[in-house]
Amino acid sequence: MQAEKIRVLVAKPGLDGHDRGAKVVARALRDAGFEVIYTGIRQTPQMIAEAALQEDVDVVGLSILSGAHMTLCPKIVELLRGQGQEHVVVVVGGIVPEADLPLLQAAGIGAVFGPGATTESIADFIREAVAQSKSHA
């Protein structure tokens, strides 16, 4: 019997149009055996939360380079939790100052992957976090 694939929504919140990194990560996760849905650029927090609900995902991966991570990322977590998606793991990739990491973690972000993070480390974290989330459900 085949294990259920982990479903990952990759999204670009806000006005940031630089999507090369998001596409690279989406492809790497797909190659690693995940089921990946890519929403494209310039997504609102509401659009991302709605897509996560409709697609019944395990993980939301946010790619953000615009500097709006402290506004957009906590809002997305809040919307996910508000629609009963407490189990969804939220990760962020992009440029995030070290000082913001504890604040994002306190807001419900599972991990932040900055420049130089390997796609293997992202996939490993997602596997572990989803397994832990499902064991608590």
In percent, how much of the chain has pLDDT > 70? 97
From the list 66, 84, 56, 51, the residue with the least C-alpha distance to 21 is: 66
| CATH number of the domain to which 76 belongs | 3.40.50.280
pLDDT per residue as tens digits for the range 110-125: 999 999 999 999 999 9
Report yes or no on 1 lying in a domain.
no
- Could you tell me if residue 57 is inside a domain? yes
Q: Is the pLDDT of residue 18 over 50?
A: yes
Interatomic CA distance for residues 41 and 90, integer angstroms? 18
Residue 2 lies inside a defined structural domain of this protein: no
pTM score over 0.85:
yes
